[in-house]
Chain A
Amino acid sequence: MKIIVIDNGSQWTHRIYRTLRDLDCDSIIMPNTSGLNEVRDADALVLSGGSMRVGKDSLEGGNNDLFLKEFTGPILGVCAGMQLIGKHYGSKVKPSIKPEFGKIDLLVDNFDDLFQGVPEKSIAWASHNDEVSELPKDFILLAHSKDVKIHAFKHSKKPVYGTLFHPEVQHTEFGEKIYANFIQTIKR
């Protein structure tokens, strides 16, 4: 199984690679300017976070939009990656009224696939200035926090997921479980 991590410039892009590798999954990191042909044969994509300000219409999104349009396998967007998904599906991404830097309480609303086996309340780590301000059409809310109402979502028909917090960092309590669950969606 091969998962391509699309690098949007996050400090934790390589940490996504490592988490997938530790879960016995072949993983490679590719720049977000890669062509569709270079990523087409992957079993899934993870769109990393990055310092781009999606909420301020940053132009550093590379080919993420193209991947979201054409790639048919499972996609997980993390932080800025999630915001790019939100935007692609017609929602608004805005600067957060209360940005979160570091430790947060993650509150799960839907345990269907990504959060299977994750408790209703757990510790997660976030680091964001922007957020998806409303749920895009056809999307289901998966998790929230005290200050951010959409911390994770999924598409109701396609295997497209997003988390604003970072499941790949060591201090997110159930982060590895969330990636393991994402890998399960490929096998379906």
Chain B
Amino acid sequence: MCIFLFSTEKFIKKTSEELKHYDGKAIIAVSGGVDSSVACILVHKIFGDRLKAVFVDTGFLRKGEITEVSLKFKKLGIPLKTVEARDVFLKNLKGVADPEKKRKIIGKTFIEIFDSEAKAFGADFLVQGTIAPDWIESGSGIRDTIKSHHNVGGLPKNMKLKLIEPLRDLYKDEVRLLAEEYGLRKDLYWSQPFPGPGLAIRVLGELTEEKINICRQANAVVCDEIFSSFEKKEIPSLPWQYFAVVLDSKSVGIQGDIRAYGYTIAVRAVEATDGLTATYARLPQDLLEKISIRITNELKGVNRVVYDVTHKPPGSIEWE
């Protein structure tokens, strides 16, 4: 039924022509995700050495992600600078519980880092892998702000760097076609979207190192189990996105005959194409059970797991 007319060839040709009009140097903010990687390849082909890729370790990354991203860019033959900024992010977010404030502080911290990297490199431009839902959900004018995406809503008004956003009109499914065109390897990290603020918005409310660690481990369990279930052909395909959220309330449980009062993990898996609407994924009960047993047994301080059965709308995909 879907009549799909997006042509990667036409898009690459047209965008490459437009990119030729820029003089000077640029830095690109990469996360290792599909959007910024595709933007990077696209711009690198035109800019060459005039482009520098910067990857920020926010402290909110997934298990093994830094190694994974470094390897990926090595394979692409694009030099990557990793900026260690864990303490800065955590410090800036201390005591902040409101999700919009969290997102805006994260966006601002990113920009401060990019500003200083751009200065060092002598760049006038900042390339971002912004796609349509990022600016749509960030709102402006009469469009309500659903959530401020770090790459849009967090940008300061007096920003000196000029933005280049070659994927601004595209959706995730179209970017994935471009990724295939560029022969990007498919793996666990490629297979699903991961937000720029990372685990910081999967720990609800105020952040602590303890909760971020729980969140990182819980996300790794969800990914492991869903991926292994897919490899064993127990599920026909991977859901569009799947992850774990640490809730900001505790509940009573019993672990080894001892009263437990611990964190609740919400597991979310959704099916979507462009991410503007989504249905919750109907994962097999056995798979959910495995995830629940592993999380409550392996993670200290967690005694309950719930599964999110909300479509979008009314829920959004991420919880914050």
Residues on A lying within 8 angstroms of B by beta carbon are 7-15, 18, 21-24, 31-32, 50-52, 60, 101-103, 125, 127, 169-171, 174, 176-177
CB pair A169 B143 closer than 8 Å? no
Q: What is the size, in residues, of chain B's interface with A at 8 Å between Cβ atoms?
A: 27
CB pair A125 B277 closer than 8 Å? yes
State A72–B132 Cα separation when bound (angstroms). Answer: 31
CB pair B274 A22 closer than 8 Å? no
Give the chain A neighbours of B279 by CB distance below 8 A: 103, 171
Give the chain B neighbours of A11 by CB distance below 8 A: 136-137, 143-144, 146, 276
Please name the 6 residue pairs, one residue from A and one from B, whose CB atoms are nearest each other, closest first: A9-B142, A101-B314, A51-B144, A9-B143, A169-B277, A102-B311
B273 at the interface (CB under 8 A from A): yes
Minimum CB distance partner of B274 in chain A: A170
CB pair A51 B143 closer than 8 Å? yes
State A13–B142 Cα separation when bound (angstroms). Answer: 12
Query: What are 15 pairs between A and B in contact, CB < 8 Å?
Result: A9-B141, A10-B143, A14-B136, A21-B5, A23-B3, A24-B5, A50-B143, A51-B143, A102-B312, A127-B314, A169-B277, A170-B274, A171-B277, A171-B311, A177-B1
Minimum CB distance partner of B310 in chain A: A102
Shortest distance between the CB of B119 and any CB in chain A (Å): 34
Which of the residues A12, A13, A101, A170 comes within 8 Å of B272, measured between beta carbons?
A: A170
Give the chain A neighbours of B24 by CB distance below 8 A: none
Give the chain B neighbours of A60 by CB distance below 8 A: 142
B230 at the interface (CB under 8 A from A): no
Shortest distance between the CB of B174 and any CB in chain A (Å): 9
State A12–B275 Cα separation when bound (angstroms). Answer: 11
CB pair B276 A176 closer than 8 Å? no
CB pair B142 A51 closer than 8 Å? yes
Give the chain A neighbours of B5 by CB distance below 8 A: 21-22, 24
Q: A9-B141, A11-B276 are in contact. Are A125 and B313 (CB under 8 A)?
A: yes
Q: 8 Å CB contacts to A: which residues of B1-19?
A: 1-6
Give the chain A neighbours of B276 by CB distance below 8 A: 11-12, 15, 169-170
